Chain A
């Protein structure tokens, strides 16, 4: 880990992401955006809950879900949340190198999660759960797929930031960008915790 004071440059204010008006605006706007996203996912959850027993003659949650795989995916995503926190802590120390490394780890973990999800969906397709099989199928793939698309977007976003991070460094202009990207990443993780509970656990036991 980093030695005491090793990389800390005094030019960076304590909360660089909120040091300028632009930064403050971005920060606040992003919280509002996440508020809207919460309603979006809330609606999708409600639709899923309303349709989850409508499997018709197709397979349902109990026939399909393999908890170990989903559990692994959950661990991976939660770990990536932690690594993105480490990235932001590095940012606050003005340690570009470590920030890049931790964000890179985050991206890799995100990709691993997506890989598992693709594998999982392929399995379900094999077992006869197509998108049009039943209302349950449509609702399941839509909710989980929406989340997957969010993960993908986060991966692309953080990668774009990494791409230019060497050139631009950490300052009051770039700090808000790193910061909101990590906020987004946490949000996506939290949504996954709900999906894990409401879709998978409740599907298996409730």
Chain B
């Protein structure tokens, strides 16, 4: 078996389909998230076109409901989640001085499960209609086959498959961060992005199983006529709401905490100061993660659980404002007196602060149970969650893209185009969503496809749609920037921003083994510590030697394809196909468990000169 120990270089598409390199998987996550962002964005834009004028008849009824459902589902599960996984893959191992993640094979499996889950969901457009139950898919509308076609089956199975992928990713990063930190990289020296990745991995581990169960039950209701959510069979629809929101509320922190992590990297770098209150930032992150599990009922105030339950959950919700406030002040204190550079990454971070604070304020308003009886299902809610998810997560993702692009791709994104992108997006964002607060208070309900003229809703809706045009333009500028700089962009040096953490100490893009020698960490902001000590590089913690790498494999893709195929069998009640698909997956698991993977070795003379310490 000696052949398996030498490098088997794969090229082209085959390389991407079989790779287990976390950096390539990170790129695939980002690219897939980008693709779904465009799809979800078009859906949003079409909805806003419909709502531009009263009594419009562009997309009405079922079509609008499908757009609305697919937009929400896509944005949450197939844009924000994978983009976060993309950054985690691209950055976390580099920040902790690891050569790899703990389970490279599982990592690739997680990606393919997510990707095929997303494709499955979108196939529904061409197979008799997309789901139309909203991203929350409330039962019994969603659980009975009387009300909808196959759309919801696609929803259930698409989310189930991709959810399994997220769970694997969560476990993988927990173990990676606990077991694979470089010598000296104590927990209290970990960069904040790694910290937030760690906390959200734990949240994923505990939040996704309730969703899995909920989706299974809905699946059984729809497919085998079970009675979980069917009141006439003794079922209870509130169970779905509980299961969904026990997952759903932590999910919003899963989305926003990594963005907080990104800002905590970007702001210190571009203020040339260490992060203010590092310890309190870590503490606040963990606390937010914990409280995230305590507040799900604030989505159910109007269900009728009673004043006691409502009060407890209202107070718990407001409590989250405290650690979040700590974070905001720490960022402001980091900026205070710093040598601030207004790079694109940094202006996204700066634009985030006021936008997100507004979302936080409306969040506390919604947390007041009696007030929520008014806000419930109005456009005010739509404004609120877009302020937090867009103003928080999406701003964070863009900041992260401009910041880490050089490390990931080895080229700089164009800063001028970046500023255009930011301003169009930032202004468009507020024009789109600010009026929606007012529309909500003035009585416009959520999830409606039209409204009557001259009831005070015309102007607000018109302005909101105009804002969406700005945001669309911003995204086009960004895509242009990506394409143009990939061809023409300036090559990135190792440390273009004068960074503080480990990833900037190696080449851009990072070599496949990350670190030729695992570095020795001597403090918080590991690379900065060395720079201040007058060193150009990290001190190695080990002699230069052979590096063991895992071999690529096509199995993760085939395994995911098995589930993908099986889903069609279930959706169309063809149990042969369903069984055949599952068989493919199990066969792959079997092969994987009996076949040894010896991987291969990279020898020192195959590493680049710079990595071997021969600096020109």
B235 and A51 within 8 A (CB): yes
List residues of A (16-60) whose CB comes within 8 Å of B's CBs.
21, 24-25, 28-29, 32-33, 35-37, 39-40, 43-44, 47, 50-51, 54-56
> What residues of A have a CB within 8 angstroms of the CB of B230 in the complex?
135
B226-246 contact mask (Cβ, 8 Å, vs A): 1 or 0: 111010011110010001001
Q: Does any Cβ of A come within 8 Å of B220's Cβ?
A: yes
A28-B179 contact given A51-B228, A135-B234, CB 8 Å threshold: yes
Q: How many residues of A contact B (CB 8 A)?
A: 36
A32 and B171 within 8 A (CB): yes
B234 and A29 within 8 A (CB): no
B462 to chain A, nearest CB (A): 45
B590 and A43 within 8 A (CB): no
Q: How many residues of B contact A (CB 8 A)?
A: 39
Bound form: Cα–Cα A132–B216 in Å: 15
Partner of A131, one of B210, B226, B234, B235: B226
Q: Does any Cβ of B come within 8 Å of A139's Cβ?
A: yes
A54 and B234 within 8 A (CB): yes
B268 to chain A, nearest CB (A): 31
Q: Does any Cβ of A come within 8 Å of B174's Cβ?
A: yes
Q: Does any Cβ of A come within 8 Å of B206's Cβ?
A: yes
B90 to chain A, nearest CB (A): 20
B121 to chain A, nearest CB (A): 22
10 example contacts (A-B, Cβ-Cβ < 8 A) are as follows: A29-B102, A37-B209, A43-B209, A51-B236, A55-B234, A134-B227, A135-B228, A142-B226, A163-B594, A173-B596
A43 and B233 within 8 A (CB): no
Bound form: Cα–Cα A146–B175 in Å: 27
B389 to chain A, nearest CB (A): 24
A134-B205 contact given A33-B171, A164-B594, CB 8 Å threshold: no
B196-229 contact mask (Cβ, 8 Å, vs A): 1 or 0: 0000000001101110111011001100111110
A39-B210 contact given A29-B171, A32-B171, CB 8 Å threshold: yes
Q: Does any Cβ of A come within 8 Å of B103's Cβ?
A: yes
Given A47-B228, A132-B227, A142-B220: 15 more A-B contacts, CB < 8 Å: A25-B180, A28-B178, A28-B179, A29-B175, A35-B205, A35-B206, A36-B208, A43-B214, A47-B243, A132-B225, A132-B226, A135-B234, A139-B228, A160-B594, A163-B594
Bound form: Cα–Cα A161–B208 in Å: 29
> What residues of A have a CB within 8 angstroms of the CB of B224 in the complex?
131-132
Which residues of B are interface residues toward A (Cβ below 8 A)? Answer: 102-103, 167, 171-172, 174-175, 178-180, 205-206, 208-210, 212-214, 216-217, 220-221, 224-228, 230, 233-236, 239, 243, 246, 590, 593-594, 596
A29 and B239 within 8 A (CB): no
Residue of B nearest to A22 (CB): B102
> What residues of B have a CB within 8 angstroms of the CB of A36 in the complex?
167, 171, 205-206, 208-209
Residue of A nearest to B172 (CB): A29
Bound form: Cα–Cα A169–B68 in Å: 56
A70 to chain B, nearest CB (A): 23
> What residues of A have a CB within 8 angstroms of the CB of B234 in the complex?
51, 54-56, 134-136
Q: Does any Cβ of B come within 8 Å of A74's Cβ?
A: no
List residues of A (150-166) whose CB comes within 8 Å of B's CBs.
157, 160-161, 163-164
Most buried by B among A33, A37, A139, A173: A139
> What residues of B have a CB within 8 angstroms of the CB of A142 in the complex?
216-217, 220, 226
